[in-house]
Structure formats: structure tokens, C-alpha cells
Amino acid sequence: MAGAGETTLEAKSEFDLRVGLSRHVPELDVRAALKSGDVGFIHSFTTGSAVDGPGIRLVAWTSGCMFRCRFCHNPDTWLHTNGMPVSLDRAVQEVKTYAHGLRVMNGGFTLSGGEPLMQAPFAARLFQAVKALRVHTAIETNGFYSERLTDAQLEDIDLVILDMKGFTPEQHERVTGVPDNSRVIAFGERLAALRRPMWLRFVLVPGLTDVPEEMRKLAAYAAGLGVVERAEVLPFHQMGAYKWERLGLDYTLRDTQPPTKAQVEAALSIFREAGLEAV
């Protein structure tokens, strides 16, 4: 895994296509790394984000995800083998480079994906180290593997951004290919019991997720938790469509247009009517 130092960690954006960056790493080494957390598999680091948590953020995009969301704009992050093997020390050093600026700009570090909790030991150790740098921490997760973090490890994460794809199992399967979302719902309830700050994130896709009854159920659930500081409605876009084509994947939303302003406002109204701050 020493060859990772030869690859540039930073990318202009998460929309850069990166594949096969750890294809030469033996499978046994991959499994050992995932278990120990000594090494993580990362698509890239990007700087200057203003949409992945409060303030200006440094974001690490992990590789590996158990969902196959039909609207995913980074399908190259589905497989661990597409990411770079990055030592924990190297990842911490990357954050340390920007730590002072992140504090000055009231920003912080966000671990996103892919799904970062597929690499929970690495995520937990990285967050612990970043907190020691006095940098605000956030994780963007689908919550499916949340039980892999202990309550103590969650204390090193200042903000959980929970990406929810649907509320009912039927809708969740329609969007992600995975029918059981009970773990996701349980994670929100666990965060509520621990009084941990949370943002809810929801992607609005015409013809797929713009289902009023689903949104009403999701909004009621989020409002009932009592720890959701904001609900983000993200309009669907086609910026990652080229990745599906390049990877030879069946992209069912090829002809789907982004939601109109009226559709976005209608969705925001549903979340606001539940008592949430929706943006």
C-alpha cells in the first residue's frame, strides 16, 4: 500500500472519475485494513465546500457503498478498489494542513462517500484525531451501518448529516435497491436519544423521490426526533451522468430533468409544515 503516496489526494471536485486506484492491493490486505482502520480507501479530498456542513469544509470522499441509488452522481465510489489506499497518518496530515484555516472560517472536516461507515474503524480513528486538532467534524452517511460506531465514538462527530432516500421500505428499495431501511430509522432515533446534532438530507428527483406522502412521513419522523437542526432538499442534477456511461452502468434517469423551482418549493413546504428549518 505504500504506492498510495504517489497519487494526488486532492481533486477539483468529487465529480472527477477515479477507478481502479487500489486494484493491485491484495484482497487480504484490503480486509485487514478495513478491520484495523490503519488504512482507508478514499476517492479524494476536496477543499472549499460550503454545502457539506457549516462554514467552509475540507471533505474526504470515501470509496465503498452498499446502496445502488439510482440518482447517485458518484457511482465510482461504490467499490473500495476504486479508491486510493491512504494511511491514517496521511489522512490526518491532510486535515492538519488546513486545520488553522478551517477554524478561522468556522468550518471543519466532513467525511463523506460512498458510505464512510463501511470503513468504520478508519472513520472513528480519523475523527478522534481531527477532534484533537480542534476542528469541527461532520459525517455524511446513509446510516445503514451506524451500529459499527459506539456511542463514545459518536461523540467525536459534531454533526451527523443523514442522507435518507425514502421512509417506507418499498420506496427505499425503489431508490436504493435495498428494501430494509429499519437500520437507518433506528440510527436517527439513536441520535435523538443521545441528543446528537443532526441534519437531514433528501434528494428530490422528479418521478422517483418527489412523492408527497413519502416526504410527509419523512418530515414527521425527522421533526419528532427533536435534534434535526435543518432539512436539506437537494435538487437532482445530471453532473455525474457521464460516470454511469463510462463505467458501463444502466442509468435509468438518463432522461430525467432537474426539478423545477415550483417542485423544490413544494417539497420545502412539506418539511417546513412539519416544523423543520428546510433549505
pLDDT digits (tens, 9 = 90+) for 151-208: 999 999 999 999 999 999 999 999 999 999 999 999 999 999 999 999 999 999 999 9
pLDDT at position 6 is 52
Query: What is 141-201 written as a DSSP string?
Result: E--TTGGGS-HHHHTT-SEEEEE---SSHHHHHHHHS----HHHHHHHHHHHHHT--EEEE
pLDDT at position 98 is 97
Cell for 68? 445502488
pLDDT at position 23 is 84
Query: Which pLDDT tens digit goes with each residue over 61-77?
Result: 999 999 999 999 999 99
Residue 206 CA, chain-centre distance (Å), reads 21
Q: 188 φ, ψ to 5°? A: -60, -40
pLDDT at position 4 is 42
Q: How many residues does the chain have?
A: 279
pLDDT at position 3 is 41
Cα separation of 39 and 274, whole Å? 42
User: Which portions of the chain are predicted below pLDDT 50?
Assistant: 1-5
Q: Is it true that the peptide bond before 275 is cis, omega within 30 degrees of 0? A: no
pLDDT at position 2 is 38
What's 277's DSSP letter?
Answer: -
Distances (CA, A) of 35 to 74, 93, 121, 166: 24, 21, 7, 30
Q: Using an 8 Å Cβ cutoff, are 140 and 161 in contact?
A: yes
Q: What percent of the chain has pLDDT over 90?
A: 88
Cα separation of 205 and 39, whole Å? 35
Q: Does domain 2-273 have CATH number 3.50.50.60?
A: no
Among the listed residues 43, 61, 118, 76, the one whose alpha carbon sits nearest the alpha carbon of residue 249? 76
Cell for 98? 488546513
Among the listed residues 28, 27, 7, the one whose alpha carbon sits nearest the alpha carbon of residue 18? 7
pLDDT at position 10 is 84
